[in-house]
Amino acid sequence: AQKVTQAQTEISVVEKEDVTLDCVYETRDTTYYLFWYKQPPSGELVFLIRRNSFDEQNEISGRYSWNFQKSTSSFNFTITASQVVDSAVYFCALSEAPGAGSYQLTFGKGTKLSVIP
């Protein structure tokens, strides 16, 4: 069974600090996909990134970076120089590959990030 654990329930940082959001997953599949979504106070779910299990390269997009390590089943998300607009709940999610279902997302419980000015 799939499982996604986001151990940090809430994090508060002061603006311009760096912050890392942890995500640990469990799956028996060798092929799977990992995602991060942002849910700002307005409530919508905003797609941030998708990685497949064969691509362990770290990715950087502006102030955002992601560290995928299969050896520790982790897919961590770092925000550099945080801003107030980064305040949101961030969800990590897992999807399994063909033959195992319909690619539905299994979400973690989310980490609420508060960036204090």
Partner 1 sequence: EPEVTQTPSHQVTQMGQEVILRCVPISNHLYFYWYRQILGQKVEFLVSFYNNEISEKSEIFDDQFSVERPDGSNFTLKIRSTKLEDSAMYFCASSRRQGGEQYFGPGTRLTVT
Stretch that binds partner 1, among 22-30, 35-43, 60-68, 76-84 (CB under 8 A): 35-43
Question: How many Å apart are CA 59 and CA 110, to the nearest integer?
Answer: 21
Q: How many residues bind partner 1 (CB under 8 A)?
A: 25
Looking at the DSSP bridge assignments, the partners of residue 25 are 4
Q: Which of 57, 61, 71, 102 binds partner 1 (CB under 8 A)?
A: 102
CB of 16 to partner 1, least distance (A): 29
Question: How many Å apart are CA 108 and CA 74, to the nearest integer?
Answer: 12
91 binds partner 1 (CB under 8 A): yes
Q: To the nearest 10°, the Cα dihedral for 110, 92, 57, 74? A: 70
Question: How many Å apart are CA 92 and CA 110, to the nearest integer?
Answer: 7
Q: Which is nearer to partner 1, 60 or 81 (CB)?
A: 60
- Per-residue binding string, partner 1, 42-61, x by CB under 8 A, is -xxxxx--x-x---------
What's the gap between Cα 11 and its chain centre? Answer: 14
Specify the pairing of strand 111-116 against strand 10-14. parallel
Stretch that binds partner 1, among 22-30, 59-67, 75-83, 101-109 (CB under 8 A): 101-109
> Site residues (CB under 8 A) for partner 1?
33, 35, 37, 43-47, 50, 52, 91, 93, 95, 97-98, 101-110
